[in-house]
Amino acid sequence: MLVKFCGLTRQEDADQAVRLGARMGGFIFHPRSPRGVRPETAAALDTGPLLRVGVFVEQDAEEIRAIMAAARLDLAQLHGGQSVECAQAVGAERVIRVLWPERYSHRALLYTALRRHAEACAYYLLDAGVKGGGSGRRLEWPDLCCLRAPHPWLLAGGLGPGNVRAALSMCAPCGVDFNSGVEDAPGRKNADKMAAAVAAANPKGNGNMS
């Protein structure tokens, strides 16, 4: 089980993510997001051993690669309509492909989408709604029970200390993505909520899920 904290904008939140044993830290490069940061801001944040993830919505492969270099990123989370060809140009081993299960009226259609992107990503992230992210909405977790994806997948969508344990009892992702559910305001994480969320996701462990 891996933990990702997305929408990082402050050093103290990155430090807390490291202390809690998170595997990934996410930075949003979307100018209309309240959690958006510039590449130089992300580059200045020390994230220690975290895999650094950039969330991209409208950028093409050339711009994504440039921002990844400038912000010292390890992975690109494609959160828009980027094509398979775009992902391949970024590098399949560096791509987290976001999919929205609510777009698909049947499980078979979701499987088709997972397979379509399999050669152009290393991870999937399944989010609530039909586009965007960070809204606080949650998925219908039982619908994802026994999901067999070609690559590891992360569960997102309004997860926090009050509901992540329930989510994990209904489906079995390889990781969880915390964002709005551990915030006091967009881009301002709450250290206690972050710790409680990790503890709830890993009740039998020691808090370190990396």
Query: What is residue 128's predicted lDDT score, i.e. its pLDDT?
Result: 86
Give mean pLDDT, residues 76-100: 96
Decide if 130 contacts 105 (C-beta within 8 A): no
Domain contains 208: no
Give catalytic residues, as residue numbers: 6, 127
Query: What is residue 210's predicted lDDT score, i.e. its pLDDT?
Result: 41
Domain contains 41: yes
Give Cα 125 to chain centroid, integer Å. 6
Half-sphere exposure of 154 (CA within 13 A, CB side): 27
Phi, psi angle pair for 172, to nearest 5°: -130, 70
Structural domain total, the chain: 1
**Which residue range(s) make up the domain with 45?**
2-201
Decide if 9 contacts 25 (C-beta within 8 A): no
Alpha carbon separation from 70 to 54, 65, 141 (Å, rounded):
11, 9, 36
Give Cα 92 to chain centroid, integer Å. 16
Query: What is residue 130's predicted lDDT score, i.e. its pLDDT?
Result: 58
Domain contains 209: no
Whole-number average pLDDT of the chain: 93
Domain contains 121: yes
Domain contains 142: yes
Domain contains 207: no
Domain contains 17: yes
Lowest mean pLDDT, pick from 70-79, 96-105, 129-138: 129-138
- Rounded CA-CA distance 48/205 in Å is 22
The pLDDT tens digits for 106-119 are 889 999 999 999 99
CATH code where residue 105 lies: 3.20.20.70
Domain contains 183: yes
User: What percent of the chain is modeled with pLDDT above 70?
Assistant: 92
Residue 2, beta-bridge partner list = 175
